[in-house]
Amino acid sequence: MSESLGLQDIVAHATRSICVALHRHGIDERVCLALKSGLQNGSVSVVEKVVAVVADQLDDEPQLREALNQSLPRAARVFAAMLATDSPTSELLLEAAETLEMLGDCATAMDAPDMAYNLYEVSSGCGAPIDRAALRVATLLRELADPKNVDQLGAAAWRYATERLRASLDQQSDWMEAIDAVETALTVWVSQPVHQAQLYEPLERVLLHHAENTPLAGLTAIVPTQAPPHALALERRLQFSNVVLGQQAPTAPVGVSRQRTAEAVAFFASVKAQAMIDDLRLKLGGGVPPSDTSMTWHDLSLEHRGLISAVPLGRALVADPERTGELVLELVHEITHAYCLLGPIGWAHRAYRAGISYLEMLMAHGSAAPTWPNAMPTLPAAAALLAQRQLATLLRSEMLVAVWTPWLEGVAVYMELLCDPKDDPNEINLPFTAVRSLIDFPSLERRPSETDDELHERYGDHVAAEFEAFYSSVCRRKSRVRHLAYLRQDDEGTIYLTGYLLVRSIVARWEHTLGHRLSPVRAAKLLLDATRNGSMAAIPPLDTPLEEFIDACYERMASWLQRIADLDRESLSTFLQSVRRHEGSRMTSWLTGRPQTVEPDRTVEIEEFTRQYEALRDGAAQWIFGEPAPADPEDRLAQHYAAYRDLCEVQNRLAGILPVGRDYARLLLGADGRTTVCPRTYAGIIPPTADNAGQLADPRYSVASFFLQDPGQLPELRRLCAVLETSRVLVTRVVDLVGNRRMPAGSSYVYLGLDTAWNHIRLGYVGQELGEEWEDINDLIAARVNAGALTGDEATTLASLQFLAQRYEGVAPASGLAESARGFDRTEYARTVGLSACALAFSADPELVEKCFEATTPEQLNQLAQYLHKTGWGEAGALDIGEATLASIVASTESYSGVIPFGGPA
Amino acid sequence: MSTMTVAVTFDLLSEAFDKVDVTKRAAPAAPGGAAKAYSRAPEVEAAVNDAWIRIKSMVERCVNQGKAIIQSEVSAFMQYVDSTSKELGARAKEFRDRLLDGIREMITKTFDLMLKALRSDIVVGQRTFALKTLDLEQKLLFSGSLQISLTSLCELAGSGELTVTGSYEVVT
């Protein structure tokens, strides 16, 4: 606004603003009018007299009084000088800017933010031509801008970006803040072309004059390519676009106008520029931190170095097996975990987790405690009881995790190392479907007279073939070296190895029962189903006394392992029978302890399974609340039960949605209504060269830009970006592991969200946006993606034994429970479970098993890894077995897949 | 000038192997530092460990059987390196770099240990002679080629002894 005002206008505008602020603050109207007259006429003496009167009325506000005493007479002097000239000197403009800033501060002190905004704006306008450093004013303008006024927000964002950039370049610091500010400004441009050009020009000037030889030098070429429409002439924009694109700049094709080509080049350059900004941010941020691939139990978060600030999009995952093969294998491993935890093992864990959250809510609302349960003591004894129960619940949960970790790791390692989907021409296991859904295969051209069904079927076959060819080559090529990687001597390595050997022994037993080798991908089908759906009996009642709980967990798991190992030939054959093409999916019931195919609408099995689930969940509730659920639904405790059950349901539903990767991706908002999102996608590692020794194996990204379809969203998006002070939306890809009424299990969606104020979900990268009829699915995905906002950093709070133990000790010092909780080492216990389970699997003396694991040399482990690799793929493996060695316990040349069947030699 | 020899035993080489840790994960490079920030890729870790175990066995065989087997041993090992490199894909360079670093360090450590065995001074009658010059008879090859470096290490192991020519002078 101020940029288009003359000096007289500025004086009038400023005078009006300060007088309105004073009047609102209770200063007499006549005094205000006198002040207005004095200021507008530049009369220092009048203003000094008025200030004396005003001061009398501000007895109890000495600071404000002092500020007005200093600023108003100065304003009169400066305004007089401004009114007396048409060409102000730099000194006058500087003094005007400073004085107007002081008046803005006075308006702020009088609680008149709108008037303060006016005064800061004219201060900024006076300072702009002389490049006055004004970060403080720009920051205040940004804070005071009307959140409903897009243009005001936009102008404030531009001023802030210019000043933030100037300050960073001047002080050689806060580079990221400067980039954030510039990106936000580029996103929330103002609608008036002249005003926008006036806002753009100082920013470009700061870059041209100060950015050379600084980390932000690249912005000099990048910013013009993303500049708002009308901020600079197309010719000039093209000059910078060509700099950014280098040799990639396309020339005008025949038949396309020069203007259209120029626009296309400008757009292309803006996307390329975004990749450059993202690389700059990565560099300034110290690169991608090293991190291990993992899946958390408490909230099923998938961590991977290739998925930090990156989302699988397009064909990036399968672009080159050399570069992305490792990530794909690791995704299959982690998604196998997520899938296995959708059944009773995960339900039990989440029943405890819901209990911990519920107890937290009760603690947060202390008033609820005395009324629950019916026999609840009064505070503060109630607080101690709640904290004690919460800690004990987490300890149980950790015990459950420790017992199941070796098996679950074993299944995931088996899937990753030996399962080639190509080996099963008719079926595909869900972890493969899920990973496949993260790849956007291009659609096929319809053949003449091809029906929709035929096209879909051909597309399905094409996608399956392409994915399987990729995966098969990666899996087979990397299997040996990944065997070597998993067989290590540390505690974690022992857990992987014991779990893997356990799985191999079960499969060996099935092979023995069937009388032939099983291809691993077929065996995995049964392993996954048994673990996810057939493990109800493997979980003890969740209210088993704490001191018996861990043994009960192990006993149940061991019995379950024995049962699945002992599956009879008929059950195995029936289950493993291939599903024929076009045959619907089969439903398997494990109610009898073995897999039985049942009709999909068999309500008896479903009802019984539901009953068992409810009993499992209510076991946890009974432990948490201390009493069984009352029959009377009006009873206070019954209401707590109902709320707790709802919480369990929510957590179970959310567990079926798995976010894979996340990136805060840049929004490019175009004048033509096109909204482009530029998320990064992992493209392997940076190829090593002689020059980048220090950057070996850093992730490499490509930008996967795509449009949002609805141009009507543009103004609101601009406003939200300005209010939230960001130009970046959260982009993640979520896989639905359960399926819904519209899409089968293993489908994926791309989620975009601007805080919780706006979101947009689409089927895949280039697929359709979810319309209103998808509302429930949309809500579920949004709830899952934003779940972290509610739970906070759960890993270090409610899911941490140390945290809860410390808190419990605060209300119950010298507690034995807190000591036990602190001393519980999940990894160590999981290792012990793995070794015991191996002793069971190979009918060996547990002490001997432990001794052999400890005594195994790295050389022997590597030999065993190569033996397990060979035999796993059905080849003969050579192994120096020796006496009383790990190899002598587990290996069998008689067995179909090289490992002694579960229960000992056949 | 006197010629001295130090026997190359597997005990000595084994001690040098113990001093070289190819499995170490280098700390992130300090700003401006030249340290290589190797990744934590488990595949590379595992492949390097396995290759190092093979190198150790190969060196032991060279000590026992002499230079005659070096060519075939190195050739077989390089085939293994090539096939593992294919398994590792884009990470193959990191694998080879780490092996090369390990072999170079191993050669250095071996020489350090051998030279430590030499006396820095000798006493003849009432006089003390200090070591003044030292020349190694063996050719030291610090090559950027994994094959040449490995051959150099194996030749050192297979030679059975390290020949050093030195001269002493009276300490004044």
DSSP conformation letters of A595-611: -EEE-TT-HHHHHHHHH
Q: Which of B28, B35, B90 sits opposite A322 (nearest CB)?
A: B90
Segment A40-63 shows an average pLDDT of 88
Sorting pLDDT into bands at 50, 70 and 90, what band is A621? very high
pLDDT for B78 beyond 60: yes
Range of A373-382, A467-476, B163-172 with top mean pLDDT: A467-476
- Closest Cα to residue A280, out of A190, A216, A187? A216
Region A695-709: what's the mean pLDDT?
65
What was the pLDDT predicted at A716? 85
Cα distance between residue A669 and residue A727, in whole Å: 9
Contact between A200 and A231 (Cβ < 8 Å): yes
Encoded tokens for A632: 């009377």
Q: Residue A210 in contact with residue A166, Cβ under 8 Å?
A: yes
DSSP one-letter code for B96: H
Q: Cβ separation of A321 and B94 shorter than 8 Å? A: no
Picking from B38, B40, B89, the nearest residue to A323 by CB comes out as B89
Contact B87 A481 (CB under 8 A): yes
Facing residue for B89 by CB, picked from A292, A322, A859: A322
Using a CB–CB cut-off of 8 Å, the residues of A that contact B are 290, 292, 321-323, 325-326, 477-478, 480-482, 484-486, 488, 684-685, 687-688, 693-697, 858-859, 862
The residues pairing with A675 across neighbouring beta strands, listed in sequence order, are A669, A708
Of the residues B38, B49, B99, the best mutation for testing chain A's interface (the one with the most A CB atoms within 10 Å of its CB) is B49
Chain A hits for B35, CB-CB cut-off 8 Å, are 694
Amino acid symbol at A106:
C
- How far apart CA A370 and CA A729 sit, in angstroms, is 44
Could you read off the pLDDT of B21-49 as tens digits, one per residue? 786 544 443 333 333 444 556 889 899 99
Is A846 strand, coil or helix?
helix
Q: Do A482 and B49 touch (CB under 8 A)?
A: no
Q: Which residues of A touch B38 (CB under 8 A)?
A: 696-697
Band (pLDDT 50/70/90 cuts) for residue A709 is low
Chain segment A822-844, per-residue pLDDT in tens: 999 999 999 999 999 999 999 99
* Inter-chain CB proximity B87 and A694 less than 8 Å: no
| Residue from A232, B11, A773, B70 nearest A761 by CA | A773
B155 or B165, which is more confident?
B155
Does B50 lie at the interface with A, CB-CB under 8 angstroms? Answer: yes
For residue B94, pLDDT over 60 is answered with: yes
Residue A4 has pLDDT above 70, yes or no: no
Residue B69 scores a pLDDT above 50: yes
A36: Cβ–Cβ under 8 A, 6 or more apart, which residues?
A15, A16, A19
Question: Which residue in A has a C-alpha nearest to residue B30's C-alpha?
Answer: A694
Local confidence band at A98 (pLDDT 50, 70, 90 cut-offs): very high
**Which chain A residue's Cα is nearest to B91?**
A697
Measured between CA atoms, how close is B65 to chain A, in angstroms?
Answer: 21
Mean pLDDT of chain A: 88
Statement: residue A697 has pLDDT above 60: no
Note the pLDDT of residue B25: 47
Cis peptide before A373 (omega within 30 of 0): yes
Q: Where are the alpha helices (DSSP H) in A188-257?
A: 193-210, 219-225, 234-245
Q: Which of A478, A488, A687 sits opposite B43 (nearest CB)?
A: A478
B88 — contact with chain A (CB < 8 Å)?
A: yes
Residue A200 to residue A224: CA distance in whole angstroms = 9
Return residues 102-161 of B near A (CB < 8 Å).
none
Using the predicted structure, report yes or no on whether residue A693 has a pLDDT greater than 60.
Answer: no
Tell me the CA end-to-end span of chain B in Å, nearest whole number: 19
Query: For the stretch A764-800, what's the b/e string if a residue is b when 16 or more beta carbons lie within 10 angstroms of its beta carbon?
Result: bbeeeebeeebeebbebbbebbebeeebeebeeebbb
A662 against A408, higher pLDDT: A408
Provide the β-strand partners of residue A747.
Answer: A736
What are the C-alpha distances in Å from A504 to residues A565, A841, A896, A897?
A: 11, 10, 11, 8
Averaging pLDDT over each range in A263-277, A321-335, A400-414, A725-739, which range is the top one? A400-414
- The pLDDT value given to residue A378: 57
B90 touches chain A (CB under 8 A): yes
Are the beta carbons of B97 and A326 separated by less than 8 Å? Answer: no
Residues of A in contact with B39 (CB under 8 A): 290, 685, 696-697
Q: Give contacts of A484 with chain B, Cβ < 8 Å.
A: 46-47, 49-50
Whether A686 has a pLDDT exceeding 80, the answer reads no
Question: What value does the mean pLDDT of chain B take?
Answer: 80
Per the model's pLDDT, the better-predicted residue between A475 and A304 turns out to be A475
The three-state DSSP-derived secondary structure of A289-315 is: CCCCCEECCCCCCEECHHHECECCCCC
Neighboring chain B residues of A478 at a CB cutoff of 8 Å: 43, 87-89
User: Is residue A90 scored above 60 in pLDDT?
Assistant: yes
pLDDT in tens, A277-330: 888 888 888 776 666 678 888 778 888 877 888 899 888 888 878 878 888 999
What is the per-residue pLDDT for A304?
Answer: 81
Q: What is the mean pLDDT of residues A561-589?
A: 87
**Span A342-367, mean pLDDT?**
89
Q: How far is A694 from chain B (nearest CA, A)?
A: 5
The structural domains of chain B, with segments of one domain joined by +, span 2-170
**Predicted ipTM beyond 0.95:** no
Assess B39–A contact: CB distance below 8 Å, yes or no: yes
Assign B139 a pLDDT band (cuts: 50, 70, 90): low
Q: Which is higher by pLDDT, A670 or A335?
A: A335
CB B53 within 8 A of CB A858: yes
Instruction: Say yes or no: B42 contacts chain A, CB-CB below 8 A.
Output: yes
- Of the candidates B36, B50, B90, which has its C-beta nearest A685's C-beta? B90
CA distance A321 to chain B (A): 8
pLDDT number for residue B131: 79
Rounded CA gap, A671 and A675, in Å? 9
Provide the pLDDT confidence category of residue A250 given band limits of 50, 70 and 90. low
Q: Which of A69-73, A669-673, B16-20, B34-38 has the lowest mean pLDDT?
A: B34-38
Res A139: pLDDT: 96
Size of interface A-B (CB pairs under 8 A): 77
Summarised one tens digit per residue, pLDDT across range A536-572 is 999 999 999 999 999 999 999 999 999 999 999 999 9
Mutate to test the interface with B, among A416, A484, A695, A880 (most CBs of B within 10 A): A484
pLDDT at residue A744 greater than cutoff 60: yes
DSSP state of A253: P
Q: What is the pLDDT of residue A367?
A: 47
Least confident of A17-21, A186-190, A606-610, B140-144: B140-144
pLDDT at A696: 43
Which chain B residue shows the shortest CA-CA distance from A478?
B87
CA atoms within 13 A of residue A225's CA, in its CB half-sphere: 28
CB contact under 8 A, A326 and B84: no
A207 Cβ contact list (under 8 Å, min separation 6): A165, A216, A219, A220, A223
Query: Quick check: A436 and A290 in contact, CB under 8 A?
Result: no
User: Given CB atoms, is B93 within the 8 Å cutoff of chain A?
Assistant: yes
Facing residue for B43 by CB, picked from A321, A481, A693: A481
Reading the block at residue B154, the tokens are 């194996």
First to last CA, chain A: 88
Q: Return the pLDDT at B30.
A: 37
Residues of B in contact with A473 (CB under 8 A): none
Query: If you search the block for the tokens 């706006």, which residue do you land on?
Result: A758
Three-state secondary structure call for residue A449: coil
Q: A484 and B50 in contact by Cβ < 8 A?
A: yes
Q: How confident is the model at residue A37 (pLDDT cuts 50, 70, 90)?
A: very high
**Is the Cβ of B30 closer than 8 Å to some Cβ of chain A?**
no
The residue assigned the tokens 């008149």 is A112
Tens-place pLDDT, residues A597-608: 887 777 788 889
Supply the DSSP symbol for A4. Answer: G
Of A326, A488, A687, which is closest to B43 when you measure between CB atoms? A326
Q: Is the pLDDT reported for residue A515 higher than 50?
A: yes
User: What is the model's pLDDT at position A342?
Assistant: 96
Task: State what percent of residues in chain A have pLDDT above 70.
Answer: 92
Selected for mutation to probe chain A from B18, B25, B86, B91 (highest A CB count within 10 Å) is: B91
- Residue contact A695–B86, C-beta within 8 A: no
The pLDDT value recorded for residue A435 is: 96
Least Cα separation, residue B114 to chain A (angstroms): 27
pLDDT score of A248 more than 80: no
- Report whether A387 contacts A818 (CB < 8 A): no
> Any chain A CB within 8 A of the CB of B43?
yes
Q: What angle do CA A770, A715, A763 make, to 5 degrees?
A: 15
CB neighbourhood size of A177 (10 A): 13
